[in-house]
Amino acid sequence: MVFCKKCNKEYPSQDGYFQEYKRGLFRSVCKVCRCLEVKEYRCKNRDAINLKDRQARALGLDVAINRLNQRRAHRKANKDFLSKKWAEYNAIPAVKQRAIELAKIRKADPAWRISRNKYLVLYRKSNQRYLECSRKSDATRRLTFPEKHRIKNANRRARQAGSSGKYSGCDVINILISQKFKCYWCGKDISDGKHTVDHYIPLTKGGANDPANLVAACGYCNSSKGAKLPDEFLQFRKQIFN
């Protein structure tokens, strides 16, 4: 049995529950605590991280400019060969047909750029391979960043409901830290990552989607509260548990 040094939880083994940073070497804290540590560090050191990202992008820009110059030099040196290859590509029947379709669209509509966008939308909808690739990438993102995906959907639903404001993952971490990783309503421990974000004043009752109107709650309290106001929910809990 292995214990996490931060949350003191007991695990059957290190494999699968602790991060392996070298072959055969595991961290002393579990994956849940490590994830919360990383998020807390990023929230506190956001400016320094952004500065490092800008510096890395600046270095990447120099590399991109060098590659662009190399490509231009290659095109100049192999102009005849590339023009021949381009002519062979344009002679392909499918490419010819697509060029004819685009020419018809441009001729029918003077604003051909808008028509081209429409053509691309139709092409993506009709192209099964493109749809499969986009679905796979969306599913991968949902599995890799589930918390980010939930927050994005919550902000989208709040916008559709006409509520103002939005929140990020850093805001959720700050709320969890201020509540000491306990449910706002019942005090249950939610440090295992099974927390939910609840609106103190429901969106249907005029509440905002700002961090000031958010609390961290367990799944049971969030689902049972629904669209109730705080006083109504507390009375509801007293009726159930008394």
pLDDT of residue 185: 92
pLDDT of residue 60: 66
pLDDT of residue 113: 64
Burial class from Cβ neighbours inside 10 Å (0-12, 13-18, 19+) for residue 185 reads buried
pLDDT of residue 198: 94
Question: Is the distance from CB of 29 to CB of 6 less than 8 angstroms?
Answer: yes
Residue whose pair of structure tokens reads 């018809």 in the numeric block: 104
Dist CA 88 CA 81 (whole Å): 11
Q: Residue 93: which residues within 8 A CB-CB, separation 6 or more? A: none
Q: List the beta bridge partners of residue 22.
A: 25
Dist CA 94 CA 154 (whole Å): 43
* Domains of the chain listed by start with CATH number: 2-44 (no CATH), 146-241 (1.10.30.50)
The series of mean pLDDT values per 10 residues for the chain, 242 residues long, is 85 81 83 84 85 73 75 88 87 83 72 66 71 72 76 89 88 89 91 87 91 92 91 88 71
Three-state DSSP state, 16 = coil
pLDDT of residue 209: 92
- The helix/strand count (H/E) of the chain reads as 10, 6
Pick from 191, 170, 168, 169: which is nearest to 179 by CA?
191
Angle, CA of 121, 124 and 129, to the nearest 5°: 175
Dist CA 38 CA 170 (whole Å): 11
pLDDT of residue 116: 64
Dist CA 65 CA 174 (whole Å): 40
Task: Give one DSSP letter per residue of 36-91, joined into a string.
Answer: HHHHHHHHHTHHHHHHHHHHHHHHHHHHHHHHHHHHHHHHHHTHHHHHHHHHHHHT
Q: Which helix (H) or strand (E) holds 174?
A: helix 169-178
Dist CA 242 CA 240 (whole Å): 6
Q: Residue 121: which residues within 8 A CB-CB, separation 6 or more? A: none
CB atoms within 10 A of CB 53: 10
Pick from 36, 50, 46: which is nearest to 177 by CA?
36
